[in-house]
Structure 1
Amino acid sequence: MSNQMDAESALARYHPWFYAAAIYNFLWGALNGLFPDLFFRLIGAPLPTYLPLWQVVGMFVLVYAPAYWWVARFPVRHRHFIVIGLLGKILGPLGFIWSAASGQLPLAFGLTGVSPPQAPAPRARGDRRTYHRC
């Protein structure tokens, strides 16, 4: 029980970041789900032929919102969601880099991967002590 308490207190400083990530994912997912053409118009990119696919992307992002909220409340209990979120933060930009390098997406599309409230996983920030306590 003491190890869990230590891990909870070590992760307490991340609570605001996970709450911010939950709000960001909710807003981003809802906006892109309800107004799928908005982002494309903002960056001056041509509208895709199948806007419903972009709405699905919005739904995927929206699904992260409750997971980040749960992590903010109980980070040790929901640490598996931290790993899933970290995978998204790594694989998403890698996919964009590949798509931009191959000419499939304009560079401005990379703005979708730049979000102010990035929920930091302890391992990603180099805090190995916190990571190992979990």
Structure 2
Amino acid sequence: MSTPPEDAKQEDLPADQAGSESLEAEEEEEEEGECGFCLFMKGGGCKDAFTDWEKCVQEAETNREDLLQKCAQVTAALKQCMDAHSDYYEPILRAEKLADEQAIIELEKEKQNPEAQSQPSSSQDQK
């Protein structure tokens, strides 16, 4: 399919090209300001649960409320939905699992060597 001349107006274009360009512009407007993560989350079966979670987080931040306490239920609902749609949300679930595992490893290291946290690391500045 050939591209229309740059000076062509939308009404001068064939109906299929004019319609697709207006649809693309509309989609760009909707996506403007949305983060890639948000677009991904809203692209799966948990759009409503994610939108509820997003609203709760915004309210908590605006009102300076405890995010974990205020949004515990919507977070649990979102996680449950993501588990139910794990085929789509697998990359996020996998990343979350790796982060949890890494946090556990770090906690175990701290338990084994609690003094390591309070001691400055050795560097060449100490020479």
TM-score, with length taken from structure 1: 0.28
Normalised by the length of structure 2, the TM-score is 0.30
